[in-house]
Amino acid sequence: MMTTENIGPGLIEDSVGLVEPGYYTFAEPPGDLPLRCGKKIGPVTIAFETYGSLNEKKNNAVLITHALSGTAHAAGYHSIHDRYPGWWDLYIGPGKPFDTNRYFIICSNVIGGCNGSTGPSSKNPVTGRPYGLDFPMITIEDMVRAQWHLIKHLGIEKLLAVAGGSMGGMQALKWTIIYPDMVNSVVAIATSASLSAQGIALNEVGRQAIMNDPNWSGGDYYTSKPPDAGLSLARMIGHITYLSDKHMHEKFGRQFMDSDPSEYDFKTSFMVETYLHQQGIKFVDRFDANSYLYITRAIDFFDLKKDFNGNLINAFENVSANFLVISFTSDWLYPSSQSREIVHALRVNEKNVIYTDIETDRGHDAFLIENPALKKNITNFLMREFEKISSQ
């Protein structure tokens, strides 16, 4: 999975180097994977990458769970020609918080995704054509249950930690509830026990942008032109929610791409407009519109309170993991109050939890960029957890 051979000059020294994705297929019919919606699916393929080495005791494995638009490619480079490394390369690698000299790091693409794991763009074995909207509805719980199969396949009985931000944090929380004996600790960043009404509303606007694109064709667009305009618009809407007002003002203000316009028309672009258009264009090159629909809906449906008779305290009653919960002061999509709600429920259950609300103006996306406080918190927490189990 990981190699440091033939590293080109463009690959930085503290990177995990060149990496190759792996693929694990399971749930071959008739042993299909049961889903929470009541349907089954099979076979199921999970795309994943690993970094570092599993030790002899097999007690140093850390599962990284990704957010909405993430992939299994969390660190390193697929080619010496890659311009950018994996999405969490700042945090995964030698000497980094998820230290690959110490831990065995695993990251997989969620089911329902479009980057190697089974999703709406995958071939339906019944029809021989892409699933499209015939793909069953999936939930965060289904993502976690699929990951369980991968972890067992890798020969790991208990994870040192499950870590993730945003939707990744939802998966991490669900891991501790479904498989309490398999998780030693959790790093839950910028996440919640359920998405707010505002978050659901914004997701729905994004979905409507896709479904109202004439090229969406009811989800059956794989042999024709895809709904790029709708997906691009959905990404633009979503990207606004990842940033804070202060950061957007500091980054763009009211600056125009060129000098102050001599004409007032729709061709004139503010810098922030151009930035959002660029984000939309880049996104359609790597993401499937139907996957966007399915994954955002899975986020909407996630509700730990509802799962436990409206009481979040009940959700964490039987968990055995130790928790590091982190929020960001300027995150309005997953505000700090939602993290504090999780912390309160854990403490009522007398669970071991550390909570940090990091001061930053970078909004929800703060966990994806350089942040010394975040790095320090993760590093110290994981080291303590690893030292505790190593001494047992």
Tokens encoding 139: 């939930």
Q: Exactly one of 89, 288, 331, 365 is catalytic; which is it?
A: 331
- Out of 117, 166, 244, 339, the active site residue is 166
Tell me if residue 121 is catalytic: no
Residue found under tokens 């660190």? 75
- Of 221, 206, 203, 234, which Cα lies nearest the Cα of 132? 221
**Strand-pair partners of 47:** 23
- Select from 327, 347, 350, 322 the least CA-distant residue to 337: 327
Q: Which two tokens stand for residue 229?
A: 């305009």
- Locate 287 and state its tokens: 């993401």
Q: What gap in Å lies between CA 246 and CA 231, rounded to an integer?
A: 26
- The residue from 185, 192, 228, 364 that is catalytic is 364
Q: How far apart are CA 333 and CA 364, in angstroms?
A: 7
So which residues are the catalytic ones? 166, 331, 364
